[in-house]
Chains A and B, each alone.
Chain A
Amino acid sequence: MNGLTRPVSGHLRRRKLMDRTMTAVAYLCAALAIIPLTWIVVYVLIQGLGAWNVRFFTQLPTTFEAGGVRSGIFGTLEVVGLSILIGVPMGVMAGIFLAEYGSNVLGAIIRFTADTMSGVPSIVVGLFVYGLIVLNTGGAYSAVAGAFALAILMIPVITRTTEEIIRLVPASIREASLALGVPRWKTILRVVVPTALSGIVTGIFLAVARVAGETAPLIMTIFGTTAPISKNIFDGPTTTLSLLIYQLGGASFPEVVKVAWGGALLLILVIFGLSILARVLFGGGGTKF
C-alpha cells in the first residue's frame, strides 16, 4: 500500500477544487489590477494622439484657443535637469555614506530622515521651498526654486536605493582592493561604486521618472505660465508639461483641453520611457557582480 498512489478520495477532490478556485481568484485580481492602468493608457493615447501636430510641438500655450506646449517641453527639461544637478550628487553621496560609514547613530538618523522625507506630501515640500527660496528672493518664482523642490523629493529615493545597491557589492571585492594596499576611500570610489554603478543609475532613472510628473510643488515654486518661460533660471516664472496639463485641462474651450491631453500623452511617454530605459539598459535593476 503506497500513500502516494492512493485512489482519489473525497478529501483530495475537495483540496483540488479549492486549489483551482484560488488560482482563478488570483488571476481575476491580477486582471482587475491591470484594467485601470490599461484604461488610462488607452484613453490618454486616444485623446492625446489627436492633439499631436506641428503646432502642438512648436507653439506657445494659450488658454482660449488651440496652442502648443513648446514652453512646457523646455521647462520640464530645464527644471528636471536642474533638479538632477542638485539632487543626484547629494542623493548618491548620502547613499554611499550610509552604506560605508552609516552603521552608527548619525547613519541611523540620516536613514530615518530619508525614510520620513519620502513620505512627506509633495505639496508640503513645495510650501517649504516657497517659504525658503521664493519669499526670501523677493517673491521671485524661478526654475531653480522648482528644481530644489523636485530635488528634495528625489534625494531620499536615490539615497536609499544607492545605499541598498552598494550593500549588495560583495565583501570579497572590497577585501581584494584593500588587500592590494588601496586606501578605503579609493576602494569605495574606484572599486565599490563602479561595481554598483548600473544599479545606482537605475535608481536615479526611476527617481527622475517619479519627479518628472510632479505638479503641486511646482505651482508654489515656478508658478506656471502660458507666457514664454523666463530666460533667467534664478528669476521669473516658467512652466512644465505637468503644470500645462493642470492649466489647460481646466480651460473652457474643448480645443484647449485637447492640447492638455496631448501634453498628458507626452508626459506619460517620457516617464514610461525612463522606466523602461532603466530596466532595459541595466537588466531590471540587476547589477553585474
Chain B
Amino acid sequence: MDSEKTSNSRTGERHEGSSGPVVSRKHPQGEPVMEVEDLNMYYGSFKALSDVSIEIARNRVTALIGPSGCGKSTFIRSLNRMHEIVPGARVEGMVTLDGEDIYARDVDPVRVRRRVGMVFQKPNPFPTMSIYDNVIAGLKLGRRRKKSELDGIVEHTLKQAALWDEVRNKLKDSGTSLSGGQQQRLCIARTLAMEPEVILMDEPASALDPVSTQKIEDTMDQLKENYTVVIVTHNMQQAARISDYTGFFFIEEMGAPGRLWEFDETEKMFSNPDRKETEDYVTGRFG
C-alpha cells in the first residue's frame, strides 16, 4: 500500500509505459568494454529484441533483469555470438568489443568467444573428462602447453572459482561426479581458464541451493577485480547485492519484441528508478 502511494506521487516525473522506445539510459563511467547500438534480434521472422543500446562497464558487474521471455538470454547470447548456433537466429545493429565490431565480416565467432566467455544456467561439465581436464578443456583444444603450466592454471582458476579446497584431492575424478553447485563452479573455472575479458552468465545460480548460490556470488565479487561480468538473474536480491549496473528488460505485450526498458546504476534502479514498470518489477509487484 505504502509503496503504491510513493510510486503514484512520483509518477509525474516518469516516462509512462506507453512512451515505448524512449528508454532511460545511463552511460556508465569510464571506457566501456562492450558497446551495443540499436540491436534488433530475430528468430526467423519473430522479432525477439528491439532497439537495445547499452554499454558494459569494464571490471564491473552488470545485471540484467526482467520478466520471463523478455529476451535476456537472447540478448546475452548476442554478446558472444552464441545465438548463431540456433538456426534462423540473426542480429541487426552493432556490438563492439574494445571498439571492434564483433559482427564485422571478417571476424571469426570463435575468436569472439575466446574473449567473451559464457556460463550457462544448467551446469554442463564435459561428461567424459576429469575435473582437471574440464578446467583446461578450452586450453587443450587450443595450442599445446607444458604440464607444469597447466597444473598452475588448474589450481589458480579452481581457487578463483572457490572450488579448489573441495576437489584438490580428486582432480582425476569425473566432472559429473560433483554436486550441482560444484559443477557450476567447475564451469566457471573452465571459463576463467580461457582468461576472457568479459564473462557472461545466464542465471548461473538458478538451479542451485542457497549455499552454492552464496559461493558463486562470493566468486563473482572476487572476479570483479580482473573481469567484466554480465549476469542475467531472476533474483532481485542477488542483482542488488552483486551488481554495479542493472538493465531492466521488458516486453509490453505478448508477441511484441523485448526492449531494454531502463538501465542505470544498480543503487538507483532498486531505490528510485525512472520508470514505473521498473519499480513494479524490482519491488515484486509483477513478473
Q: Which residues of A contact B (CB under 8 A)?
A: 103, 170-183, 186, 190-191, 194-195, 197, 288-289
Q: How many A-B residue pairs have CB under 8 A?
A: 71
Bound state CA distance, A178 and B113, in angstroms? 8
Number of interface residues of B (CB under 8 A): 27
B124 and A170 contact, CB distance less than 8 A: yes
Could you say which residues of chain A place their CB within 8 Å of the CB of B128?
191, 194-195, 197, 288
B194 and A175 contact, CB distance less than 8 A: no
B117 to chain A, nearest CB (A): 7
Bound state CA distance, A191 and B125, in angstroms? 11
Q: List 27 A-B contacts (CB under 8 A).
A: A172-B124, A173-B124, A173-B127, A175-B124, A176-B120, A176-B125, A176-B126, A176-B187, A177-B137, A177-B141, A178-B82, A178-B85, A179-B191, A180-B117, A180-B137, A180-B138, A180-B190, A180-B191, A180-B194, A181-B111, A181-B142, A182-B138, A182-B141, A182-B142, A186-B141, A194-B128, A195-B126
- If A175-B82, A190-B141, A195-B128 touch, does A180 touch B113 (CB 8 Å cutoff)? yes
B113 and A181 contact, CB distance less than 8 A: yes
Asked whether B25 is an interface residue with its Cβ less than 8 Å from the other chain, the reply is no
- If A175-B82, A176-B187, A186-B141 touch, does A181 touch B110 (CB 8 Å cutoff)? yes
Residue of A nearest to B117 (CB): A179
Asked whether B215 is an interface residue with its Cβ less than 8 Å from the other chain, the reply is no
Asked whether B114 is an interface residue with its Cβ less than 8 Å from the other chain, the reply is yes
B110 and A289 contact, CB distance less than 8 A: no
Asked whether B118 is an interface residue with its Cβ less than 8 Å from the other chain, the reply is yes
Could you say which residues of chain A place their CB within 8 Å of the CB of B124?
170, 172-173, 175-176
B127 and A179 contact, CB distance less than 8 A: no
A183 and B80 contact, CB distance less than 8 A: no
B89 to chain A, nearest CB (A): 13
Contact pick for B110, options A173, A175, A183, CB 8 Å: A183
Bound state CA distance, A288 and B111, in angstroms? 31
Extra A-B contacts (5), CB below 8 Å, given A181-B138, A182-B137, A197-B128: A170-B124, A173-B126, A176-B126, A181-B194, A195-B126
Bound state CA distance, A226 and B154, in angstroms? 62
A286 to chain B, nearest CB (A): 12
Bound state CA distance, A238 and B264, in angstroms? 81
A172 to chain B, nearest CB (A): 4
Bound state CA distance, A170 and B120, in angstroms? 13
A199 to chain B, nearest CB (A): 12
Q: Which B residues from 40 to 59 make CB contacts under 8 A with A?
A: none
Could you say which residues of chain A place their CB within 8 Å of the CB of B118?
179
Bound state CA distance, A173 and B128, in angstroms? 11
Bound state CA distance, A197 and B127, in angstroms? 12
Asked whether B122 is an interface residue with its Cβ less than 8 Å from the other chain, the reply is yes
Could you say which residues of chain A place their CB within 8 Å of the CB of B122?
172
Bound state CA distance, A173 and B124, in angstroms? 6
B117 and A182 contact, CB distance less than 8 A: no
Could you say which residues of chain B place their CB within 8 Å of the CB of A176?
120, 124-126, 187, 190
Bound state CA distance, A182 and B137, in angstroms? 9
Bound state CA distance, A170 and B113, in angstroms? 20
Give the interface centre of A174, A190, A289 by most chain B CB atoms within 10 Å.
A190
Q: Which B residues from 54 to 108 make CB contacts under 8 A with A?
A: 80, 82, 85, 87
Residue of B nearest to A193 (CB): B128
Could you say which residues of chain A place their CB within 8 Å of the CB of B190?
176, 180
A179 and B137 contact, CB distance less than 8 A: no
Residue of A nearest to B138 (CB): A180
Give the interface centre of B112, B122, B141 by most chain A CB atoms within 10 Å.
B141
Give the interface centre of A176, A178, A186 by most chain B CB atoms within 10 Å.
A176
Bound state CA distance, A174 and B117, in angstroms? 14
B111 to chain A, nearest CB (A): 7
Bound state CA distance, A87 and B180, in angstroms? 41
Could you say which residues of chain B place their CB within 8 Å of the CB of A177?
126, 137, 141
Could you say which residues of chain B place their CB within 8 Å of the CB of A190?
141
B108 to chain A, nearest CB (A): 9
Could you say which residues of chain B place their CB within 8 Å of the CB of A181?
110-115, 117, 138, 142, 194
Residue of B nearest to A172 (CB): B124
Could you say which residues of chain A place their CB within 8 Å of the CB of B115?
181
Could you say which residues of chain A place their CB within 8 Å of the CB of B117?
179-181
Give the interface centre of A171, A179, A191 by most chain B CB atoms within 10 Å.
A179
A195 and B194 contact, CB distance less than 8 A: no
Q: Which B residues from 140 to 164 make CB contacts under 8 A with A?
A: 141-142
B126 and A179 contact, CB distance less than 8 A: no
